[in-house]
Amino acid sequence: MPEALLEVEGLTLDYHTRGGVMRAVDDVGFAVGRGEALVVLGESGCGKSSLARALMRLLPRNAGGLGGRVRLAGRELHLLDDETFRREVQWQGLALVMQASMNALNPVVKVGEQVAEPLRVHLGWERRRALARAAEVFELVGLPGDFLRRYPFELSGGMRQRAVLAMALVAEPALVILDEPTSALDVLTQAGIMNALKRVKAELGTGFILITHDVATSSELADRVALMYAGQLVEVADAETFFSAPGHPYAQALMASVPKLRQRERPRAIPGEPPSLLDPPAGCRFAARCPHRFADCDRLPPSFAPAPRQEVRCWLYKEASR
């Protein structure tokens, strides 16, 4: 991995619900190198958006128990108060493109003004300079400069998504978190957005955390993959290793569930359901669905077995490394 840009250790986030306290992000740790794209992959409800919210401190009212250490370019973000975090880290350090944010653009404000807003409001740039910078970023993400003067309803879904991406990039953050950036779009539009992201990555050296449930999308941009299951990471590996030789039984099952061209075997669904985050099992969270389950899996939670290119949270690997 290149020099670490973002280092996350022991990140946790709880929600207070009627049914009790739910730990949606449980002891999550990973690193993202400079200019690197880490894909956080996992099925719906496993805690991916909660992870993004925890990193950006954009928490709903019923959230609590935000814990862990987050370092960005060596700066200890967890030691900052909220006010300093918003002023000094949001937009310039870390920026987030939230799920469905292309539908959250203000309908009565021209797109260019909205994209320039982080520069004007957070960095105090005057309007003309901010709009000129917005025009540069528009071009970078593949939007014609004259679209600055359009209203959101005059743009297609893909164009609006590019505009939201431009807004995240406008203050040149070191790292952008993208939560399901293409899930509401058709495949051609998705491909266009992924190409725009590749271009930004190559030209600006921006780091990315791309959150998705879609294996095909993830393989487009990923340098490394972090696979999430029931609130925890279960595998962190470089992309090539993950896609060619997934280690965790859940990773293997996930890859086997993806249809592939010219494959004789049918895609296999993963039987069963993930456990409730309100009452997760004491041992491995995937044990109930795992074809390789043995006695230890139900009794004790596995920790990560470290390996240079692939870390796996599974007793099979712990046993092997003993």
Ligand X SMILES: Nc1ncnc2c1ncn2[C@@H]1O[C@H](COP(=O)(O)OP(=O)(O)OP(=O)(O)O)[C@@H](O)[C@H]1O
Question: Considering the rule CB under 6 A, would residue 247 count as an interface residue with ligand X?
Answer: no
Q: Which of 20, 21, 62, 202 binds ligand X (CB under 6 A)?
A: 62
Least distance in Å: CB of 22 to ligand X? 6
Number of residues that bind ligand X (CB under 6 A): 16
Q: Which of 6, 8, 11, 15 binds ligand X (CB under 6 A)?
A: 15
Pure H helices in 60-150 = 82-84, 111-117, 123, 127-140
What are 245's two structure tokens?
């030789």
Question: Considering the rule CB under 6 A, would residue 274 count as an interface residue with ligand X?
Answer: no
Q: Which of 5, 6, 11, 22 binds ligand X (CB under 6 A)?
A: 22
Question: Considering the rule CB under 6 A, would residue 40 count as an interface residue with ligand X?
Answer: no
Reference 218, options 250, 245, 190, 189; nearest CA is 190
What are 34's two structure tokens?
């400079």
Q: Which is nearer to ligand X, 61 or 262 (CB)?
A: 61
- Window 181-210: residues binding ligand X (CB under 6 A): none
Q: Which is nearer to ligand X, 42 or 173 (CB)?
A: 42
Distance (Å, rounded) from C-alpha 136 to C-alpha 4? Answer: 28
Q: Which of 23, 48, 57, 285 binds ligand X (CB under 6 A)?
A: 48
Least distance in Å: CB of 140 to ligand X? 28
Residues 6 or more apart whose Cβ sits within 8 Å of residue 202: none
Distance (Å, rounded) from C-alpha 141 to C-alpha 164? Answer: 10
Which burial class, exposed, middle or buried, applies to 177 when counting CB atoms under 10 A from its CB (0-12, 13-18, 19+)?
Answer: buried
Cα-Cα end-to-end distance for the chain: 26
Q: Is the dihedral of CA 274, 280, 283, 284 positive or negative?
A: positive
Q: Which is nearer to ligand X, 60 or 308 (CB)?
A: 60
Question: Considering the rule CB under 6 A, would residue 218 count as an interface residue with ligand X?
Answer: no
Q: Which of 45, 142, 275, 280 binds ligand X (CB under 6 A)?
A: 45
Q: Which of 50, 206, 217, 232 binds ligand X (CB under 6 A)?
A: 50
Q: Give the Cβ contact number of residue 271 at 10 Å.
A: 9
The residues that touch ligand X, with contacts defined as CB under 6 A, are 15, 17, 22, 24, 42, 44-50, 60, 62, 213, 277
